[in-house]
Amino acid sequence: MKLIVGLGNFEDKYLFTRHNVGFMAVDFFVAQANQSFKIDKKLKSSIAKFRFNNEDIVVIKPLTFMNLSGEAVSAVMNFYKIEAKDVFVIYDDISIDLGLVRFRASGSDGGHNGIKSIIKHLGSKTFDRLKIGIGPQPNIPSEAYVLQNFTKDELEALKPILKKPMIEDYLREGIEKAQNLHN
């Protein structure tokens, strides 16, 4: 079983902010699979569970704020008995230009508070990631920048990126092949 985590903030006012690009990516993936999310307050997540490529997949959007994402990830992992090596997290990266993506197998939090929370709750840095670029950051604090809505032009530029079969390629082929195809 694989756990796919899209990071973002759950309140409607954050729907189209840069920090919510992880939510956007998993929303698109789940919709393409003709599935939908259901809220599970016990697991602090909005969850979609289905089979993909002959494997059980659990896709979540934490109902915690970004900085507490590890609480939801840990709750879901414990409930479904999922190991860190089977976790795949999708999130925004301010140091990567808009329109670019980077798959990565494990690593540090890179200053991302959602990843920092996940590492803390898992006690491990060993989980796969997909970073979606939201940069370059203008000369404003990063906390302000990531909570701004994407501009109309930025959203248009993101659409073809989110439509790429990045998650599907990762699930079918693994991290190395996904890196070769998309990084």
Spatial CA neighbour of 4 closest among 100, 91, 110, 102:
91
- The whole-number pLDDT of residue 168 equals 97
Mean pLDDT value of segment 39-53 = 97
pLDDT tens digit string along 12-41? 999 999 999 999 999 999 999 999 999 999
For residue 36, the model assigns a pLDDT of 97
Residue 165's pLDDT is 96
Q: What Rg do the C-alpha atoms of the chain give, in angstroms? A: 15
Across all residues in the chain, what is the average pLDDT?
96
Quickly count: other Cβ atoms within 10 Å of residue 180's Cβ. Answer: 11
pTM for the predicted model, two decimal places: 0.96
The Cα 72–Cα 70 span in angstroms is 5
Active-site residue identified among 19, 112, 121, 182: 19
Q: Residues 36, 51: contact at Cβ < 8 Å?
A: no
Q: Has 121 been annotated as catalytic?
A: no
The structural architecture, per CATH, of the domain 2-182 is 3-Layer(aba) Sandwich (3.40)
Q: Give tens-digit pLDDT for 107-160.
A: 999 989 999 999 999 999 999 999 999 999 899 999 999 999 999 999 999 999
Confidence (pLDDT) at 156: 95
pLDDT band at 88 (very low <50, low <70, confident <90, very high): very high
Q: What is the 3-state secondary structure (H, E, C) of the chain?
A: CEEEEECCCCCHHHCCEHHHHHHHHHHHHHHHCCCCCEEEHHHCEEEEEEEECCEEEEEEEECCCHHHHHHHHHHHHHHHCCCHHHEEEEEEEEEEECCCEEEEECCCCCCCHHHHHHHHHHCCCCCEEEEEEEECCCCCCHHHHHCCECCHHHHHHHHHHHHCCHHHHHHHHCHHHHHHHHC
